Amino acid sequence: MTTRAILLVDFANFDCAIRKIKEKFGFSKEFIVNYKKLIRRFIKGHEVIESNIYIGLKKNSNNHHGFFDYFKKDKYQIITKEEKAIKLDDGSTKYKANFDVEIAFDACWHLAKGTCDEIILVSGDSDFSYLVKKIKALDLPIKIVSSNATVSSELKDGAFLLDDIDISQYLFKRKI
């Protein structure tokens, strides 16, 4: 019997993990990850009833449609919000969209409705440690997918680390 699961992808965290792994193993920026193929690796054996990708959008940017179409073909739901400018102490500006509430709510929504048996959370963000702790306290499984460089100490125990697989099989060279 397959396990019913929902897939919740914190894309900024996932993309950062992939970039760090590519750097670690010496892959140049011209190598692009096949995200869907990689995701299939860690959802194998599950009946995924909902796949959500949470991604921030740069203000006035329209160059994301091809990327969204790439996922929508496989019935992924794309949840977006505009990135906010955050001034750093050194005077520089960082842009960020925070999806902690949306991801936590979607996990709780499905657990409360009884529509899934497991949560697959693609993020190493420590902000999810409370959610993970509470889900585990209910004796419900939650799979954390991250990398050594991006997983928080609170989530590292039992996490599926992308560093432990041969990432090269999920990369292809960008056509110029």
pLDDT in tens, 125-166: 999 999 999 999 999 999 999 988 899 999 988 788 887 878
Question: Which pTM value belongs to this model?
Answer: 0.91
How far, in Å, CA of 53 to CA of 71, rounded?
A: 9
Q: What is the pLDDT of residue 14?
A: 92
Q: What is the pLDDT of residue 46?
A: 94
70 Cβ contact list (under 8 Å, min separation 6): 35, 36
How far, in Å, CA of 69 to CA of 62, rounded?
A: 13
pLDDT value at 81 more than 70: yes
CA nearest neighbour of 119 among 16, 15, 37, 49: 49
Domain range annotation of the chain? 3-173
Fold of 3-173: Rossmann fold (3.40.50)
